């Protein structure tokens, strides 16, 4: 073919995603509220991995998640695990706060020969542990280092090696290959500054009226500055992407509430199986939960806690006293004292038609 | 991860309680009878048992005694509608107010077992 035979057939779209990626992106967007940058970063790295273009001898990707407490940093990893492997716990979590002392690194890689515990300490990061969630179709491991700012120097050295060469030498001198790992690191760095920003910007806890794009920019700047101050350039250079999670606004928390209530129904169905019962919350109850569960300092975590304490525990206490049976439909309302009430919807059959009524 | 054996013939509660405990970071295993509970207790390692007083057959008090025979002083939380005297349990919780008390008491029992940091050394 000569050059003269080549014809321009139009520009190509470098950002176009394959079907598998589109599906992942759609599912993640349905599960994760507001954190678009995090979803974009994850989807991009997964796309590179799927087409086999991930750099050799390096992890599939190294992502640093910064942001306020309760903004969903760990949840993104859980949602990805649930989407890819059908299990939100299908990832390895290293809680760096548990490795603040130099000697505690043995819990991660096992004790070296000549040290107490050699051959007895079971290393957390073995090849077997890393591969446990992999399938024939998906040779990928999600590895999360939580609260990395709390890691000891020994863990830092280990982490730098992993991020750069995707290898790890255990206490027994065996080598672990981490080139199939997508590595996530989370940090609450700048949390105090973010908290004071939230308090200063909001005036009163619970009001989000001034949480806007400007506020998000300030949070982003604060988090990045804190990260650059704390972390060495050699660490920052090993990262594929730094994502700053945004503070959740009222409309985001409303979506989180809907997702959480749906999840509770799923949890009940999964837990009790054929003895399933259903529950529903009216708009006033949802407003009540949002009011009680809104705390700018703790984000969605506080809302989830309020739902667990008031809805799940309430339902469980009714089950414990045999007031809820299989097939029941429970309606949650607001009582005269301002607290939540639980009523059972009973189906009664009248002479002419089926009528629903509630019985407290 | 601490392991808890939850024994209740109300299967719906048993499974819901396990789910709640799982959310709290525990490994929770359900059992709906004394026999099932003892079999699980002998085959697996647990840190605490939660049992209903009213269980089919010999009942929760007898289950507690059997567990303490195998592991003296083992932490056992018993639930029931009326307070009961049972020398083989750590504490009793009324079922009417099971949650969040159960979570708090499990945390307290397990913390007490571990003791203060100096005692652990």
Q: Phi and psi at residue B80, in whole multiples of 5°?
A: -175, 170
The answer to the question of residue A132 being in a domain is yes
Res. A212: pLDDT tops 90:
no
Whether residue A298 contacts residue A248, with contact meaning beta carbons closer than 8 Å, is answered with no
Residues of chain B with Cβ-Cβ distance to A324 below 8 Å are 12
> How far does B84 lie from chain A, in Å, by closest CA?
17
Which ranges constitute the DSSP H helices of A147-281? 153-165, 191-202, 213-230, 233-236, 250-272
The answer to the question of residue A6 being in a domain is no
Q: How large is the angle between the packed helices A73-85 and A36-50, nearest 10 degrees?
A: 40
Looking at the structure, do residues A235 and A286 belong to the same domain, yes or no?
Answer: no
Residues 6+ apart with CB under 8 A from B89: B61, B64, B76, B77, B78
Q: What number is the average pLDDT over the span A285-308?
A: 91
pLDDT (0 to 100) of residue B109: 95
Q: What number is the average pLDDT over the span B46-65?
A: 95
> How far does B72 lie from chain A, in Å, by closest CA?
28
Res. A201: pLDDT tops 60:
no
Looking at the structure, do residues A192 and A269 belong to the same domain, yes or no?
Answer: no
Q: For the CA atoms of chain B, what is the radius of gyration? A: 13
Residues of chain A with Cβ-Cβ distance to B17 below 8 Å are 316
Listed by start position, the domains of chain B span 3-115
pLDDT above 70: percentage of residues in chain B:
94
Q: What number is the average pLDDT over the span A27-49?
A: 95
Q: What number is the average pLDDT over the span A145-172?
A: 91
Establish, for the pair of chains A and B, how many residue pairs have beta carbons separated by less than 8 Å: 54
- Are B10 and A320 inside 8 Å of each other by CB? yes
Structurally, chain A folds into a number of domains equal to: 2
Structure token pair of residue A131: 């591969």
- Are B13 and A320 inside 8 Å of each other by CB? yes
- When CB atoms are compared, the residue of B18, B79, B98 closest to A271 is B18
pLDDT (0 to 100) of residue A276: 92
Res. B118: pLDDT tops 80:
no
Q: What is the span of the domain harbouring residue A173?
A: 19-247
Res. B3: pLDDT tops 50:
yes
List the single residue in A with minimal CA-CA distance to B99.
A313
Query: What are the DSSP calls for A325-349, one per residue?
Result: -TT-EEEEEE-TTSSEEEEEEEEEE
What confidence tier does A326 reach under pLDDT thresholds 50, 70, 90?
very high
Res. A206: pLDDT tops 60:
no
- Which CATH number is A161's domain given? 3.40.50.300
Res. B22: pLDDT tops 70:
yes
Looking at the structure, do residues A138 and A213 belong to the same domain, yes or no?
Answer: yes
Whether residue A300 contacts residue A246, with contact meaning beta carbons closer than 8 Å, is answered with no
Q: What is the β-pairing status of strands A241-244 and A92-95?
A: unpaired
pLDDT above 90: percentage of residues in chain A:
58
Backbone dihedral region for residue A34 (phi beyond 0: left; psi -120 to 50: alpha; all else: beta): left
Looking at the structure, do residues A119 and A238 belong to the same domain, yes or no?
Answer: yes
Looking at the structure, do residues A202 and A337 belong to the same domain, yes or no?
Answer: no
- Which CATH number is A330's domain given? 1.10.8.60
Q: pLDDT higher for A157 or A213?
A: A157
Res. B53: pLDDT tops 80:
yes
Whole-angstrom distance, CA of residue A144 vs CA of residue A160: 14
pLDDT in tens, B64-111: 999 999 999 999 999 999 888 888 999 999 998 999 999 999 999 999
Per CATH, the homologous superfamily of domain B3-115 is Response regulator (3.40.50.2300)
Residues 6+ apart with CB under 8 A from A84: A24, A90, A138, A140, A142
Q: pLDDT higher for B64 or A346?
A: B64
Q: pLDDT higher for A13 or B101?
A: B101
Angle at A166 between CA A165 and CA A169, to 5 degrees: 95
Looking at the structure, do residues A134 and A223 belong to the same domain, yes or no?
Answer: yes
Boundary-marking domain end, from A247, A280, A302:
A247
Looking at the structure, do residues A180 and A272 belong to the same domain, yes or no?
Answer: no
Looking at the structure, do residues A227 and A283 belong to the same domain, yes or no?
Answer: no
Q: What number is the average pLDDT over the span A339-352?
A: 77
Boundary-marking domain end, from A223, A247, A271:
A247
Residues of chain A with Cβ-Cβ distance to B10 below 8 Å are 319-320, 322
Residues of chain A with Cβ-Cβ distance to B20 below 8 Å are 308, 312-313, 316
The answer to the question of residue A4 being in a domain is no
Residue carrying the six token digits 């073995």: A126
The answer to the question of residue A14 being in a domain is no
- Are A320 and B20 inside 8 Å of each other by CB? no
Looking at the structure, do residues A223 and A317 belong to the same domain, yes or no?
Answer: no
Whole-angstrom distance, CA of residue A345 vs CA of residue A328: 7
pLDDT (0 to 100) of residue A288: 97
Mean pLDDT of chain A: 86
List the single residue in A with minimal CA-CA distance to B10.
A320
The answer to the question of residue A258 being in a domain is yes
The answer to the question of residue A206 being in a domain is yes
* ipTM field: 0.90
List the single residue in A with minimal CA-CA distance to B19.
A271
- Are B99 and A326 inside 8 Å of each other by CB? no
Looking at the structure, do residues A231 and A314 belong to the same domain, yes or no?
Answer: no
Highest mean pLDDT among A191-195, B59-63, B80-84: B59-63
Looking at the structure, do residues A237 and A283 belong to the same domain, yes or no?
Answer: no
Looking at the structure, do residues A109 and A243 belong to the same domain, yes or no?
Answer: yes
pLDDT (0 to 100) of residue A298: 80
Least confident span in A60-74, A81-95, A101-115: A101-115
Paired with A355 in beta bridges are A348
- Are A312 and B20 inside 8 Å of each other by CB? yes
Taking alpha carbons only, the member of B6, B15, B1 closest to residue B93 is B6
pLDDT in tens, A96-146: 998 888 778 888 888 766 666 666 667 889 999 999 999 999 999 999 999
Boundary-marking domain end, from A221, A247, A273:
A247
Query: With a threshold of 0.90, does the pTM exceed it?
Result: no
Residues of chain A whose beta carbon is less than 8 angstroms from a beta carbon of chain B are 267-268, 270-273, 275, 277, 308-309, 312-313, 315-317, 319-322, 324-326
- Are A315 and B16 inside 8 Å of each other by CB? yes
- Are B19 and A267 inside 8 Å of each other by CB? yes
């Amino acid at each position: 073919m000569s050059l003269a035979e080549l014809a321009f057939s139009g520009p190509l779209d470098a950002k176009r995603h394959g079907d598998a990626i589109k599906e992942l992106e759609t599912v993640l967007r349905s599960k994760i509220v507001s954190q678009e940058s995090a979803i974009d970063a994850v989807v991009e790295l997964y796309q590179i991995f799927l087409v086999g273009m991930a750099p050799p001898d390096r992890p599939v990707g190294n992502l640093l998640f910064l942001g306020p407490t309760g903004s969903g940093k760990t949840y993104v990893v859980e949602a990805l695990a649930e989407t890819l492997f059908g299990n939100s716990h299908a990832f390895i979590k290293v809680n760096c706060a548990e490795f603040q002392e130099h000697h505690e690194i043995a819990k991660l890689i096992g004790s070296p020969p000549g040290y107490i515990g050699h051959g007895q300490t079971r290393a957390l990061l073995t090849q077997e542990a890393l591969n446990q969630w992999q399938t024939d179709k998906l040779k990928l491991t999600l590895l999360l280092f939580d609260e990395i700012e709390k890691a000891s120097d020994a863990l830092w050295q280990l982490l730098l090696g992993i991020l750069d060469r995707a290898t790890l030498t255990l206490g027994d001198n065996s080598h672990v290959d981490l080139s199939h790992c997508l590595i996530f690191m989370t940090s609450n760095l700048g949390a105090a500054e973010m908290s004071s920003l939230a308090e200063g910007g909001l005036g009163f806890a619970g009001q989000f009226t001034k949480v806007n794009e400007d506020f998000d920019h300030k949070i982003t700047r604060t988090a990045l500055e804190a990260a650059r101050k704390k972390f060495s350039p050699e660490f920052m250079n090993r990262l594929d992407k730094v994502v700053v999670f945004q503070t959740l606004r009222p409309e985001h928390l409303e979506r989180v509430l809907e997702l959480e209530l749906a999840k509770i129904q799923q949890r009940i169905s999964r837990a009790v199986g054929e003895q399933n019962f259903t529950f529903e919350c009216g708009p006033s109850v949802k407003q009540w939960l949002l009011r009680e569960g809104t705390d700018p300092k703790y984000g969605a975590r506080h809302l989830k806690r309020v739902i667990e304490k008031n809805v799940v525990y309430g339902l469980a206490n009714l089950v414990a006293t045999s007031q809820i049976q299989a097939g029941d439909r429970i309606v949650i309302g607001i009582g005269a004292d301002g607290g939540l009430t639980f009523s059972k919807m009973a189906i009664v059959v009248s002479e002419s038609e089926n009528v629903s009524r509630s019985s407290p | 991860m601490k392991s808890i054996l939850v024994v209740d013939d109300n299967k719906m509660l048993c499974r819901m309680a396990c789910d709640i405990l799982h959310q709290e970071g525990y490994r929770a295993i359900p059992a709906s009878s004394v026999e099932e509970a003892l079999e699980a207790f002998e085959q697996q390692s647990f840190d605490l048992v939660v049992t209903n007083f009213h269980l089919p057959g010999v009942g929760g008090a007898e289950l507690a005694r059997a567990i303490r025979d195998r592991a003296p002083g083992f932490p056992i939380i018993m639930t029931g509608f009326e307070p009961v005297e049972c020398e083989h349990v750590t504490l009793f919780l009324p079922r009417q107010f099971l949650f969040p008390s159960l979570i708090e008491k499990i945390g307290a029992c397990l913390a007490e077992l571990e003791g203060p940091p100096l005692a652990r050394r």
